[in-house]
Amino acid sequence: MKSLSLSLFIIGVIFCTFQISFGNSISTKVQIDSLKIAVNNQQSLPSKVHLSKPEIQPLFKTERLNVFIFLIIISALVLTFLFLAKRNHSLTLRKIAGLDAIDEAVGRAAEMGRPVLFVPGSMDVDRIQTLAGIAILSKVGYECATYEVDLDVMTRFPLLMSTSQEILRQSYLTAGRPDLFSPDRVQYITDNQFAFAAAITGHMVRVKTAAHFFIGEFYAESLVISEAGNTTGAIQIAGTANSHQLPFFLASCDYTLIGEELFAASAYLSREPILLGTILGQDWSKALFGLLIVLGTLAAWFGWTDFIHWFQTE
């Protein structure tokens, strides 16, 4: 599965970067099929048929060279640190404040005899933040299995529900308590954003969960669920990279993972060389971007516009 994913990813990167397309013939074929559907549904044929002329796209868009170079540099840095992390197990990340709170939260739930609630974001499993949330779910699941605390997971998409079930099954197995795992405690609620928020709010208030984890990609529902959770007195830990939702989590949660700390947390907890190497590669990419900004600032000050124009993307 990993190699299939990786190969599709690489193909996608190359195609999308240079907009290599075989769309011309497909475009015409699809238009003809649309007419066939109209005929099949016994609709009258249009009096005029405009088959739009397929636009000829160049094989390579050279104005995208800067994007390609950036991707090569970032990929090279990430792959380098991936390689180093696999070979050198002493590579670590700095301690992230808020991760100790996971043990504290689960411990408190165990003392109170109340369940833990985990919401891995309000987007689907194809989003990067959701994947990071699921990695932390794995850790929380392990802790809950160890302390024999019930864990409720509420999701907004069926695919995420099944992925979460898989992850938790594995966590409970690793903790040596597969008997405690119940797939029914991982629920798919609804696709609708605010219906999902209403369901979470209702669950928190009625079940009186002792600890809440809101980790993943959130939007407007973040304020609703974190504020409602705050009124129940539960300990709340949140994490999202959506900067516009962070203020609400910061105001109503006990601990918040800000932005990229979410991704670093999943690497820190799992200690997997792949995740560690990725974070370290990104860190040095950020250092490079900072250097570019400093250089660009100097260029803007002294009027070296060519340097700045190289970063033009449109």
59 binds other proteins (CB under 8 A): no
DSSP per residue, 41-67 = TTPPPPSS---PPPPPPPSS-GGGHHH
Partner residues linked to 211 by β-bridges: 116, 235
173 binds other proteins (CB under 8 A): no
Q: What residues numbered 73-92 form the site for other proteins, per CB under 8 A?
A: 74
148 vs 300 by CB, closer to other proteins: 300
290 binds other proteins (CB under 8 A): yes
Rounded distance, CA 238 to CA 136, Å?
11
Return the closest-CA partner of residue 186 out of 269, 227, 125. Answer: 125
Rounded distance, CA 296 to CA 288, Å?
12
- Applying CB under 8 A, which part among 113-121, 135-143, 173-181, 194-202 lies near other proteins? 194-202
Q: What residues numbered 30-49 form the site for other proteins, per CB under 8 A?
A: 30-31, 33-38, 40, 43, 46-49
128 vs 274 by CB, closer to other proteins: 128
Q: What residues numbered 229-268 form the site for other proteins, per CB under 8 A?
A: 231, 243-244, 246-248, 250-251, 258-261, 264
72 binds other proteins (CB under 8 A): no
Q: What residues numbered 115-154 form the site for other proteins, per CB under 8 A?
A: 125-128, 131
Return the closest-CA partner of residue 129 out of 212, 277, 241, 222. Answer: 241
Yes or no: say if 257 and 265 are a contact pair by the CB < 8 Å rule. Answer: yes
26 vs 111 by CB, closer to other proteins: 26
Rounded distance, CA 229 to CA 232, Å?
5
